[in-house]
């Protein structure tokens, strides 16, 4: 029975990779959420249900990352924690991490569903979104119960696992993890693919359609990691090398919701990007205007004389005149070239005193 106890020996750089990866994705996720809150609450003043649920998701994700950061720090000190008491505490933290992961997924899928409900108008498509949200939420809580209370008291998980007093990890926990991973990916793709045909048939510029498709792709970005995570579910099997085998599974279980939160938040930041771009153009134009003498325009101003009153209306970028003295004239009877730069004699290729052509 002692041989079945997991060991912290020979982990190598696995704990360091897990620690740095978790800290990085947590920082990026929080950065994207802060930007989203600013855009929705300050710039647009339209803080909706998808924003509130993403706040719950980032809170649960923070708890999830806290437990795995603590666990990775313990794994970096095998001489201190490679004993029954230390390993029991470590396994308890991993169980708490798994439960937090399940709750994070629930809130993330609800937020993603509300996000797509903002842009989907077809009744049957909205019904599909609601069904996906309901299924992912119900199964998410079921999965939370399996991974958290599969052995009763989580603090006695290690001992009861060795004594075979828990639900079967091979027959229950691992298959449930496969279903949960597949359901996450399927939910993301169903929600993202639903509006494609509708957007394709809309009469809008291609660049607008491109941005719409990009938003849909960002919303489903987490599903890519879900598919990668699918290959590491077997790392949950107990044994002497449990911590080493489960490290990549834990890493992808962190990247998946972190990337999902980041992607769905960045999908809401177009107003901020637009404002920054306009600000950059304004600063560039201001610097050019203060950079010295303006470059003379080589394009003369065209003044149209003799324009009938029905055509003589003000337009931006044009200088027009009233009705000509000859009220019976039709069309344009006289064209003059009167550039200010030419009047100052700044270009010798044009006559100094413009005259009618």
CA proximity to 337, closest of 347, 327, 322, 324: 347
Give the per-residue pLDDT at 261. 92
**What ranges do the domains of the chain cover?**
10-271, 299-357
Q: What values do phi and psi take at 112, rounded to 5?
A: -65, -40
Give the per-residue pLDDT at 131. 95
CA terminus-to-terminus distance, the chain: 105
334 and 305 Cβ atoms separated by less than 8 Å:
yes
Grouping H, G, I as helix, E, B as strand and the rest as coil, residue 129 is: helix
143 and 102 Cβ atoms separated by less than 8 Å:
yes
H or E stretch including 118? none
Residue by residue, what is the 3-state secondary structure of 231-245? HHHHHHCCCCCHHHH
Give the per-residue pLDDT at 211. 73
Give the per-residue pLDDT at 133. 94
What is the C-alpha to C-alpha distance for residues 18 and 73, in angstroms, rounded to an integer?
Answer: 9
Per residue in 110-132, pLDDT (tens digit) is: 998 998 888 788 899 899 999 99
For every one of its 357 residues, what pLDDT tens digit does the chain have, with 9 covering 90 and above? 444 667 787 777 888 999 999 999 999 999 999 999 999 999 888 899 999 999 999 999 999 999 999 999 998 888 888 888 888 889 899 999 999 999 999 999 999 899 888 878 889 989 999 999 999 999 999 999 999 998 888 888 877 877 778 888 888 999 999 999 999 889 988 888 887 877 777 777 777 777 777 777 776 777 788 888 888 888 888 777 788 888 888 999 999 999 989 988 988 888 887 888 777 777 777 777 665 545 444 444 444 444 444 444 444 443 443 444 444 444 443 444 443 443 444 444 444 554 444
Q: What values do phi and psi take at 4, rounded to 5?
A: -85, -10
Residue ranges of the alpha helices (H) in the chain?
14-38, 49-75, 78-81, 84-117, 123-149, 157-162, 174-193, 196-201, 206-219, 222-229, 242-266, 270-289, 340-343
Sign of the CA dihedral running 144, 147, 152, 154: negative
Residue corresponding to tokens 């009233």: 322
Grouping H, G, I as helix, E, B as strand and the rest as coil, residue 334 is: strand
CA proximity to 213, closest of 253, 159, 267: 267
Per residue in 72-124, pLDDT (tens digit) is: 999 888 888 888 888 888 989 999 999 999 999 999 999 989 988 887 888 99
Q: Which CATH number applies to 10-271: 2.60.40, 1.10.3470, 1.20.1070, 2.60.120?
A: 1.20.1070
Length of the chain: 357
Using alpha carbons, list the distances in angstroms from residue 158 to 5, 11, 53, 329. 8, 19, 34, 99
pTM of the complete model? 0.74
Give the per-residue pLDDT at 145. 94
């Amino acid at each position: 029975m002692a041989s079945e106890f997991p060991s912290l020996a020979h982990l190598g750089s696995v704990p360091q990779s897990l620690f740095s990866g978790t800290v990085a994705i947590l920082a990026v996720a929080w950065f994207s959420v802060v930007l989203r809150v600013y855009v929705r609450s300050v710039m647009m003043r339209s803080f909706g249900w998808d924003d509130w649920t993403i706040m719950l998701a980032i809170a649960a994700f923070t708890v999830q990352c806290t437990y795995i950061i603590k666990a990775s720090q313990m794994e970096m000190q095998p001489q201190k924690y490679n004993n029954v008491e230390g390993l029991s505490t470590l396994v308890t933290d991993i169980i708490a991490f798994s439960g937090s992961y399940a709750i994070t997924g629930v809130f993330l899928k609800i937020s993603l569903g509300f996000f797509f409900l903002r842009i989907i108008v077809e009744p049957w498509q909205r019904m599909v979104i609601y069904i996906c949200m309901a299924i992912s939420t119900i199964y998410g809580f079921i999965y939370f119960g399996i991974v958290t209370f599969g052995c009763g008291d989580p603090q006695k998980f290690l001992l009861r696992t060795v004594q075979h007093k828990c639900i079967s990890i091979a027959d229950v926990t691992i298959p449930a993890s496969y279903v949960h991973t597949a359901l996450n990916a399927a939910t993301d793709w169903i929600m993202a693919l639903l509006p494609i045909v509708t957007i394709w048939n809309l009469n809008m510029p291609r660049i607008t359609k491109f941005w719409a498709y990009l938003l849909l792709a960002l919303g489903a970005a987490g599903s890519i990691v879900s598919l990668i995570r699918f290959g590491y579910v077997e790392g949950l099997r107990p044994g002497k090398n449990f911590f080493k085998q489960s490290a990549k599974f834990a890493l992808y279980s962190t990247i998946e919701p972190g990337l999902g939160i980041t992607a769905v938040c960045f999908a809401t930041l177009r107003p901020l990007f637009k404002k920054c771009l306009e600000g950059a153009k304004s600063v560039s134009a201001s610097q050019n205007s203060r950079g010295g003498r303006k470059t003379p325009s080589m394009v003369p101003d065209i003044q149209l004389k003799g324009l009938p009153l029905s055509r003589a209306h003000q337009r931006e970028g044009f200088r027009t005149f009233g009705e000509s003295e000859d009220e019976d004239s039709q069309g344009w009877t006289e064209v003059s070239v009167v550039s200010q730069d030419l009047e100052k004699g700044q270009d010798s290729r044009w006559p100094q005193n413009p005259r009618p052509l």
